[in-house]
């Protein structure tokens, strides 16, 4: 029983991180109808930015999290405006330019990795924070960093949910996600909303990067596997569904950890993708997904 | 080229140009071979530390050149980064062997890279001097072209296993990364415990290199309550596993043990305080009171800004000087036509290097037979414990032990046969 609880704690903690990255992927998909393949790199850069904030300003970990989110959010807006936006100029909007944007995302992923290499090098970097020894409840270890992950994820989700459902700006974002043409006609500044979606999504990825930093070292190749896992989480939860992304993340994290715990631990990564395949076969819309519909 | 000269050009000018071209071609051809010993070096230089010991190899050869070279010959060194990736290492070795026509290859840092390079250089007939790779299979292949300065895992893992069994216990859990050196370290460690103490591993699983989350393994290990935990992996994977072992609640009383890569500089830097008390086997300790070591440490601090060099530094330095000693005794012609003969002469000269005392205190003794007994030069692993982690980490030497040249080979006869067959195919 204790071992099961240990596995659940580890599974939920890593699952929440998958969920945060998946949240950004789903947000971009819901707004732009594309899968953003450079999202893993925003997670990586966010993690590096967290270290930079701590080292250059001496700020505590919480402010490093906020700082990395703000800088990554702005970077996301810049990338969207400067690179992705150009692809829509040929007409047809984001939906028509989707394939070009997906390919551009791959290119952006390589470019951002190389920029990170130039800035921080190939060596892994330890996070300059210490949480000390875990809290023990009998034999069960509860690392303090997991509490931080849980609390921060809940706060971020609540803030995002409140923003999307209780503010006019959030309403505009949801309108753009639902139908861009109608949103234009209703006077919504669609390009600004799309930039906002990109910025928020990249800030979420950065938050995940900063939260995972103290558990894993930060290095330029860290985004690739996280992107795949977050993609699996987004699909399992229901592509385009924001609560589904977080739920999918937790389900993927729990499933892979429990399988690794009770089956063969060396195949841990395979279990997540097995789950992805099963979900696609049995329930293609994911746990909280809705049937795919044609959007403008 | 002369065909394109304007017709107005006189015969005298044309002849002079042709003579100049011929003379310059002769000069280039002569400079490329006579008196120049070409050395190809391929190392893991993914990090600043790797770049520094790579540069140190080049600098040491240049210092030999500056002092007049060897028997009037000078070295021309080409340094390439293989990033610890076997495909890049093989490409580097192929280029050195067939395009650059090197007389000697020094490399690689990683066993996964050195293993396939052995086959390439064996076929090309290029002597290979290994500075860092420890996997026992490298020399077990039986290539006459291969010599190893570092300590084979059949010695070093056994030394660590012996110490563990005698001082800590035999109930040990193992996790190791998929790279060749880490596999061999763990395998030879638990083989020793099984053979000499009759205790099988409490837990033994492999994980992928670069695996971010080892907590599933570690939670299972925690439930099994071992006396010791061996994490055999390259420095960053080792550090990650070490930190996560505390995170999941494996108590500090469970002794943590590293493989040879635990000695690499990034390991204590990444691990921080978690590395305190961890012991590992290596070929060198900068904390050794030997004046030769102090001088070496002073040199690395002054030239490369590294005040606590690891055994990758010391073995790179040792490799250059083993090569120097060998070449001093080699009869080299160094013309284009003598390439094969020069390579064979360096190979044979390496086989005659004996009694070279490494910075770590081990003695490199090579001999001519293409056997591990002759080609695993250093047989003296050092057991080292970290007493402090972080950038300014500290270590202490637990002990040294020297093995007989044939130690551990009796049980490897079948494996050796298979490896030799694969080399010849």
B343-362 tens-digit pLDDT: 999 999 999 999 999 999 99
Q: Which residue in A21, A217, A225, A261 has the most chain B C-beta atoms within 10 A of its own C-beta, making it the best mutation to test that interface?
A: A217
Give the nearest partner residue to A10 out of B211, B215, B270, using CB atoms.
B215
The mean pLDDT value for B402-423 works out to 92
> Which pLDDT does position B26 carry in this prediction?
43
Mark yes or no for CB contact B266/A123 under 8 Å.
yes
- The domain spans of chain B are 2-31
Q: What percent of chain B has pLDDT over 70?
A: 92
Q: Is the pLDDT of residue A166 over 60?
A: yes
The boundaries of the domain holding residue A70 are: 2-282
Tell whether A186 is covered by a domain.
Answer: yes
Per-residue pLDDT at A123 = 83
Q: Select from B205, B258, B204 the least CA-distant residue to B236.
A: B258
Helices (H), chain A: 2-32, 39-57, 61-79, 93-96, 98-120, 144-166, 168-178, 180-185, 190-212, 222-237, 242-262, 268-282
The predicted model gives A80-102 an average pLDDT of 74
Q: What average pLDDT does chain B have?
A: 90
How many angstroms from the chain centroid is the CA of residue A153?
Answer: 11
Residue A294 located in a structural domain: no
Number of domains in chain A: 1
Q: Which residue of A221, A266, A267 to mutate against B (max B Cβ within 10 Å)?
A: A266
CA A162 from chain centre, in angstroms, equals 18
In a domain, A288, yes or no: no
CA distance B390 to chain A (A): 10
Nearest CB to B248: which of A141, A264, A265? A141
Interface confidence, given as ipTM, is 0.81
Mean per-residue pLDDT, B382-394:
92
Give the pLDDT of residue A290. 63
What is the SS3 assignment for B75?
A: strand
Please report, for the domain that includes residue A177, its CATH number: 1.10.3470
Chain A residues in contact with B213 (beta carbon < 8 A): 10, 14, 215-216, 268
Mean pLDDT within B403-416: 92
What the block records as the tokens of A148 is 């931080």
CA–CA distance, B361 with B292 (Å, rounded to integer): 10
> What pLDDT score does A93 carry?
60
Domain presence at residue A49: yes
Separation CA A209–CA A53 (nearest Å): 13
Predicted confidence (pLDDT) at residue A291 exceeds the cutoff of 80: no
Tokens of B167: 């001082």
Mean pLDDT of A119-132: 86
Q: With a cut of 50, say whether residue B3 has pLDDT above it.
A: no
Lowest mean pLDDT among A24-38, A45-59, A232-246, B30-44: B30-44
Among B49, B216, B247, select the one facing A260 at the smallest CB separation. B216
- Looking at residue A3, its pLDDT comes to 87
According to the model, what pLDDT value does residue A141 have?
Answer: 80
Entry pTM: 0.80
Contacts of A208 in chain B (CB under 8 A): none
pLDDT tens, B224-273? 999 999 999 998 899 999 999 998 899 999 999 999 889 888 899 999 88
Indicate the pLDDT class of residue A96, thresholds 50, 70 and 90: low
Residue A292 placed within a domain = no
Residue B7: pLDDT above 90? Answer: no
Comparing alpha-carbon positions, the chain B residue that sits nearest to A135 is B249
Contacts of A123 in chain B (CB under 8 A): 46-49, 266
- pLDDT over 60 at B187, yes or no: yes
Under the banding of pLDDT at 50, 70 and 90, the label for residue B6 is very low
């Amino acid at each position: 029983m204790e071992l099961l609880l240990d596995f659940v704690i580890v599974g939920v903690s890593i699952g929440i991180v998958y969920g945060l990255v998946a949240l950004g992927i789903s947000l971009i998909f819901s707004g732009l109808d594309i899968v953003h393949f450079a999202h893993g790199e925003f997670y990586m850069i966010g993690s590096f930015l967290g270290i930079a904030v701590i080292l250059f300003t001496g700020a505590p970990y919480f402010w490093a999290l906020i700082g990395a989110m703000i800088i990554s959010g702005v970077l996301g807006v810049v990338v969207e405006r400067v690179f992705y936006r150009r692809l829509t100029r040929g007409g047809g909007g984001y939906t028509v330019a989707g394939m070009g944007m997906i390919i551009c995302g791959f290119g952006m992923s390589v470019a951002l990795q190389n920029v990170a290499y130039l800035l921080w090098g190939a060596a892994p970097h330890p996070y300059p924070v210490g949480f000390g020894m875990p809290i023990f409840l009998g034999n069960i270890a509860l690392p303090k960093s997991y509490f931080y992950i849980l609390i921060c994820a809940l706060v971020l989700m609540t803030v995002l949910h409140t923003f999307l459902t209780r503010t006019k700006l959030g309403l505009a974002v949801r309108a753009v996600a639902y139908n861009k043409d109608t949103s234009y006609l209703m006077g919504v500044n669609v390009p600004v909303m799309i930039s906002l979606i990109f910025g928020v999504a990249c800030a979420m990825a950065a938050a995940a990067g900063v939260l995972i930093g103290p558990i894993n070292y930060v290095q330029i190749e860290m985004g690739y596997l996280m992107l795949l896992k977050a993609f699996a989480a987004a699909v399992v939860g229901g592509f385009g569904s924001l609560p589904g992304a977080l739920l999918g993340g937790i389900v993927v994290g729990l499933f892979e950890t429990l399988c690794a715990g009770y089956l063969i631990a060396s195949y841990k990564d395979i279990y997540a993708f097995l789950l992805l395949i099963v979900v696609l076969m049995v329930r293609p819309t994911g746990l909280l997904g809705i049937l795919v519909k044609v959007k403008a | 080229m002369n065909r394109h000269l304007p017709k107005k050009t006189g015969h005298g000018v044309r002849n002079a140009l042709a003579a100049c071209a011929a003379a310059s071609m002769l000069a280039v051809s002569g400079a490329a071979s006579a008196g120049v010993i070409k050395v190809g070096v391929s190392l893991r230089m993914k990090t600043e530390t790797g770049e520094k010991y790579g540069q140190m190899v080049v600098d040491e050869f240049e210092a030999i050149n500056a002092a007049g070279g060897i028997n009037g010959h000078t070295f021309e060194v080409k340094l390439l980064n293989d990033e610890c990736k076997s495909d890049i290492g093989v490409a580097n070795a192929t280029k050195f062997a067939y395009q650059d026509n090197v007389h000697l290859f020094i490399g690689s840092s990683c066993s996964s890279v050195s293993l396939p390079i052995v086959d390439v250089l064996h076929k090309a007939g290029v002597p290979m001097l290994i500075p860092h790779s420890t996997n026992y299979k490298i020399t077990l292949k039986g290539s006459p072209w291969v010599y190893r300065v570092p300590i084979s895992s059949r010695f070093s893992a056994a030394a660590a296993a012996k110490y563990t069994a005698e001082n800590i216990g035999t109930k040990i859990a193992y996790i190791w990364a998929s790279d060749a050196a880490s596999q061999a370290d763990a395998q030879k460690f638990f083989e020793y415990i099984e053979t000499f103490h009759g205790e099988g591993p409490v837990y033994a699983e492999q994980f992928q290199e670069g695996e971010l989350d080892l907590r599933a393994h570690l939670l299972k290990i925690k439930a099994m309550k071992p006396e010791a935990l061996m994490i055999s992996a390259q420095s960053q994977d080792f550090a990650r596993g070490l930190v996560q072992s505390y995170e999941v609640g494996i108590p500090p009383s469970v002794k943590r043990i590293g493989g040879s890569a635990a000695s690499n500089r990034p390991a204590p830097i990444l691990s921080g305080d978690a590395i305190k008390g961890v012991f590992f086997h290596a070929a060198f300790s900068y904390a050794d009171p030997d004046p030769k070591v102090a001088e070496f440490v002073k040199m690395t601090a002054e030239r490369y800004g590294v005040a606590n060099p690891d055994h990758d530094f010391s073995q790179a330095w040792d490799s250059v000087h083993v090569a120097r000693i060998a070449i001093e005794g080699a009869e080299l012609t160094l013309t284009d036509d003598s390439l094969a003969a020069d390579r064979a002469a360096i190979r044979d000269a390496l086989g005659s290097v004996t009694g070279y005392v490494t910075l770590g205190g081990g003695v490199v003794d090579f001999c001519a037979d293409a056997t591990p007994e002759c080609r695993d030069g250093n047989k003296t692993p050092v057991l080292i414990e970290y007493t402090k982690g972080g950038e300014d980490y500290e270590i202490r030497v637990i002990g040294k032990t020297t093995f007989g040249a044939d130690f551990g080979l009796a049980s490897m006869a079948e494996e050796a046969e298979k490896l030799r067959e694969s080399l010849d195919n």
